[in-house]
């Protein structure tokens, strides 16, 4: 429906050259007579020429477009990631096509397939799960460059950019201990994603071998990365005989909901309970009190993801590369003044 009418032919004719020469000028491919080049450029701009992307892609097998699939566009952390990647791509004149997997492995597979068909030059994926997302990702990786972002998928032999979750959790626990907290509870997500898995594992290791079974002593509560779970977990804690000194949340989205629920119940944060979280979303700075949270260097991570994509495009058989960034802790009022 939508589309240009002006073609290279028109430009060539107007400039009095062959379509080949016109194309050469327009794509800066080979050197051409300056005078002809001038005429082509003039004709091109006068006619308002824009190359038909489909014809070009059909011919060159490239699109200057990168695809990105995230688990949910309503999670602000992924939006921040998308924005960072888009900024990065803009620098090299490329654009991003964004797809939402809606937390469904099936939708995710469809979206990945869609993007591969659209011949994106590369694909950045934040997998919905660590296991079930693997087949679609591997199929895509067979066709071209794929980089996993933030979460890895098990056994997927693709490049990866993420941050050190164990270190992030260590920052949380060290900070709380320095403020005198003894009893600490972790409220996170079930280990269906690599981030949920790593953060939970790190917490348990940091807390010592006290509990053997999976949170049998009540020091860890696992649900989803969602508002609902934050509310639910808070209620569970409120139902206990006594509250812990501090709560470590696996993500801001959980923490914000948990915080609201605790305060609604009259619990003073940070006086009675301190709360620390992960992601450092703007959202966490709107709460009262504002959240102490682990920040990942998302711009650097986005840049690295694009770099890996380009590197892989150049050397398809290079060994798999994993880039792990160090997070930092941003201290705010939720862990005391």
Minimum CB distance to DNA smaller for 23 or for 261: 23
Sign of CA dihedral 138, 140, 143, 148: negative
Which x/- pattern, by CB under 8 A, does the window 276-315 give for a copy of itself?
------xx--xxx------------------------x--
**Which among DNA, a copy of itself, none contacts residue 29 (Cβ within 5 to 8 A by kind)?**
DNA
Contacted entry of DNA, a copy of itself, none for residue 9, CB cut-off 5 to 8 Å set by kind? DNA
Decide whether 212 or 314 has the Cβ nearer to DNA.
Answer: 314
Biggest CA pair distance of the chain: 87
Residue 24 within binding range of DNA, rule CB under 7 A? yes
Per rule CB under 8 A, is residue 263 in the interface with a copy of itself? yes
56 binds DNA (CB under 7 A): yes
Cis peptide before 289 (omega within 30 of 0): yes
Strands 146-149 and 122-125: parallel
* Distance of alpha carbon 10 from alpha carbon 18, whole angstroms: 10
Number of amino acids touching a copy of itself (CB under 8 A): 51
Cα(20)–Cα(18) distance, integer angstroms = 5
Nearer to a copy of itself, 112 or 202 (CB): 112
Positive or negative: CA dihedral 32, 37, 43, 46:
positive
Q: Which of 38, 42, 58, 214 binds DNA (CB under 7 A)?
A: 58
- The Cα 249–Cα 259 span in angstroms is 10
Q: Counting contacts by CB under 7 A, is residue 117 touching DNA?
A: no
* Interaction between residue 61 and a copy of itself (CB under 8 A): yes
Residue 31 interaction partner, one of a copy of itself, DNA, none, beta carbon < 5-8 Å per kind: DNA
Cβ burial of 61 (10 Å; 0-12, 13-18, 19+) is: exposed
In the list 13, 19, 41, 236, the residue contacting DNA (rule: CB under 7 A) is: 19
CB atoms within 10 A of CB 307: 16
Eight-state DSSP code of residue 232: H
| Partner touching 260 among a copy of itself, DNA, none, CB below 5 to 8 Å by kind | a copy of itself
Whole-number Å distance between alpha carbons of 70 and 120: 16
Helices vs. strands in the chain: H and E counts, helices first: 12, 12
For residue 290, the 8-state DSSP code is: P
Token pair of 123 as six digits: 């694909």
Q: By CB under 7 A, name the binding residues for DNA.
A: 4-5, 7-9, 17-21, 23-24, 26-27, 29-33, 35-36, 49, 51-52, 55-56, 58-60
Q: By CB under 8 A, name the binding residues for a copy of itself.
A: 1-4, 50, 52-55, 57-58, 61-62, 73-74, 76, 79-80, 82-83, 86, 95, 97-100, 114, 116-123, 140, 143-145, 227, 256-257, 260, 263-264, 282-283, 286-288, 313
């Amino acid at each position: 429906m939508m589309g240009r009418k002006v073609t290279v032919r028109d430009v060539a004719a107007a400039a009095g050259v062959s379509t080949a020469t016109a194309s050469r000028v327009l794509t800066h491919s080979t050197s051409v007579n300056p005078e002809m080049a001038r005429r082509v450029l003039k004709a091109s701009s006068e006619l308002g020429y824009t190359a038909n992307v489909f014809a070009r892609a059909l011919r060159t097998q490239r699109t200057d477009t990168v695809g990105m699939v995230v688990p949910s566009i309503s999670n602000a952390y992924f939006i921040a990631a998308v924005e960072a990647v888009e900024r990065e791509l803009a620098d090299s004149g490329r654009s991003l096509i964004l797809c939402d997997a809606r937390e469904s492995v099936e939708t995710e597979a469809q979206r990945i397939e869609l993007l591969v068909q659209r011949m994106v030059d590369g694909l950045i994926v934040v997998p919905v799960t660590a296991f079930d997302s693997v087949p679609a990702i591997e199929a895509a990786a067979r066709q071209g460059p794929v980089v996993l972002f933030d979460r890895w998928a098990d056994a997927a032999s693709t490049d990866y950019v993420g941050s050190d979750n164990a270190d992030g959790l260590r920052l949380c626990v060290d900070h709380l201990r320095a403020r005198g907290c003894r009893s600490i509870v972790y409220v996170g997500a079930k280990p269906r994603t690599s981030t949920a898995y790593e953060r939970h594992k790190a917490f348990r290791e940091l807390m010592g071998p006290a509990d053997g079974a999976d949170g049998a002593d009540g020091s860890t509560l696992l649900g989803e990365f969602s508002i609902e779970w934050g509310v639910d977990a808070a209620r569970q804690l409120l139902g206990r005989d006594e509250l812990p000194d501090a709560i470590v949340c696996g993500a801001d989205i959980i923490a914000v909901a948990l915080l609201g629920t605790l305060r609604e119940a009259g619990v003073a944060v940070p006086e009675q309970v301190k709360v620390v979280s992960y992601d450092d979303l703007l959202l966490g700075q709107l709460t009262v009190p504002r959240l102490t949270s682990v920040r990942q260097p998302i711009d650097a991570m986005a840049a690295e993801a694009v770099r890996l994509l380009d590197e892989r495009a150049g050397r398809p058989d290079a060994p798999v590369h994993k880039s792990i960034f160090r997070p930092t802790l941003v201290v705010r009022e939720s862990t005391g003044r």
